[in-house]
Amino acid sequence: MRKKSVRRKPLVRRGTKKKASFFSGKVLRFAVLAFFILLVLGMGYHYRNGLAYYFSFKSNKVLRQEAEDKRLSDVRNYQVLDNHEGKAIGLDVSEYQGKINWVDVDTLESKYPVHFVFIRATVGNDRLDKQFDQNWLGAKKNKLIRGAYHYYRPNENSLEQAELFIKTVTLRKGDLPPVLDIEKLPKNQSVERLKIGLKRWLKRVEEHYKVKPIIYTGESYYDDFLKEEFSDYLFWIANYNFYRENMEEDWLFWQFTEKASVSGVKGSVDVNIYNGDLQQLQFITIE
């Protein structure tokens, strides 16, 4: 009988694993990263004076431009206000001005007395201005003639927007008529449908307060879309351009700047001129 051959298993030597090299795998990546960090830090230190000069120059350049813009804005503000000497001057504010110290709100640019203020009350069909209640009460305590305005959203239901404003704002004797602020064109409807919505808002608000609302808008918007069809309403027009130095006769109010300084208000604020003196302004308030 033939003998069966037995296949021997290959001998496996234990304890012969190759040790990881210092510069292999993760250790190598860490070393390369550390090298580049040290290289960048070294270059930064070497060129520290040049980099400091560059960023200081850029920062100073921005500050100089802001200062120049403020200077030009102030020059125009003084010029416009001097051109309309004797007319009533006022502000318009919203939550964007933060908390206003109404006790100190008395002069514009530390020279021109403030007589009135328009305060944003509502936005669209669902939003209240966060500072409306405080601003509404603060203006009254400071004995300023006050008015409330609604920021109209063209793509939302006009009657719902009117009801929100009515629910939020209680007008008293001596307050200015309610204001409809329209600045945007609709996205999903025609301009004609927009005009229908504006008329519904105006009609509903007039029915409630028994006084005709004022319409706020930009000069171009007024000329292009509202001037003819809404001619039986009084307008508050915004135009900040340097070429515009005087208000038109058919404007009730003119918002001529958004970059004025007023005591009691942090940062810049919008300023408006009424097309008449203080006595004439009091004549259009609610009786």
Helix, strand, or coil (residue 210): coil
- In this prediction the pTM is 0.77
The total of structural domains in the chain comes to 2
Q: Do 151 and 52 share a structural domain?
A: no
pLDDT at residue 24, as a whole number:
61
Residue 163: its pLDDT value, please?
A: 98
- Listed range (49-63, 93-107, 175-189, 272-286) with the worst mean pLDDT: 49-63
In a domain, 189, yes or no: yes
Model confidence pLDDT, tens digit, residues 9-29: 555 455 444 455 544 667 777
Q: Are residues 68 and 210 in the same domain?
A: no
Phi and psi at residue 22, in whole multiples of 5°? -60, -35
Binning pLDDT at 50, 70 and 90, where does residue 44 land? low
**Of 160, 183, 245, 258, which residue is the catalytic one?**
183
Pair 106, 69 in one domain:
no
pLDDT in the model for residue 53: 55
- 214 pairs with which residues across the strands? 179, 234
**For residue 59, pLDDT beyond 70:** no
> Does 3 have pLDDT greater than 50?
no
Q: Looking at residues 130-158, what average pLDDT do you find?
A: 97
pLDDT tier for residue 30 given thresholds of 50, 70 and 90: confident
Is the same domain home to 79 and 138? no
134 and 190 together in one domain:
yes
17 assigned to some structural domain:
no
Is 156 marked active-site? no
Which residues constitute the domain of residue 198? Answer: 87-283
In a domain, 18, yes or no: no
Give the separation between CA 129 and CA 94, rounded to whole angstroms: 7
In 47-122, where does DSSP find H-type helix? 48-83
Judgement on whether residues 44 and 179 belong to the same structural domain of the protein: no
When pLDDT is averaged across residues 104-122 and rounded to a whole number, the result is 93
Domain boundary among 46, 65, 83: 83
Within a domain: 245: yes
97 and 73 in a single domain? The answer is no
- Whether residues 65 and 91 fall in one domain: no
Same domain, 78 and 93: no
pLDDT on residue 104: 95
Structure tokens at 57: 């120059």
Quick one: 151 and 56 in the same domain? no
Task: Examine the fold and report which residue of 83, 99, 123 is the final residue of a domain before the chain moves on.
Answer: 83
Q: Are residues 119 and 162 in the same domain?
A: yes
Could you please report the per-residue DSSP string of the chain?
-PPPPPPPPPPPPSS-PPPPPTTSHHHHHHHHHHHHHHHHHHHHHHTHHHHHHHHHHHHHHHHHHHHHHHHHHHHHHHHHHHHTTTS-EEEEE-GGG-S--GGG--EETTTEEP-EEEEEEEETTTEE-TTHHHHHHHHHHTT-EEEEEEE--TTS-HHHHHHHHHHH----TTPPPPEEE-----SSS-HHHHHHHHHHHHHHHHHHHSSPPEEEEEHHHIIIIITTTTTTSEEEEE---TT--S--TTEEEEEEEEEE-BTT-SS-EEEEEESS-HHHHHHTS--
- 210: confidence class by pLDDT, cuts 50, 70, 90: very high
Q: Are residues 48 and 164 in the same domain?
A: no
Q: How far apart are CA 287 and CA 284, in angstroms?
A: 9
Domain for residue 14, yes or no? no
| pLDDT computed for residue 108 by the predictor | 87
Whether 129 is in a domain gets the answer yes
Stretch 262-285: mean pLDDT: 95
CB 286 within 8 A of CB 173: yes
Q: Is residue 74 part of a domain?
A: yes
CATH of the domain at 245: 3.20.20.80
- Is residue 51 in some structural domain? yes
Which of 43, 65, 83 lies at the terminal end of a domain, its last residue?
Answer: 83
The pLDDT value given to residue 2: 47
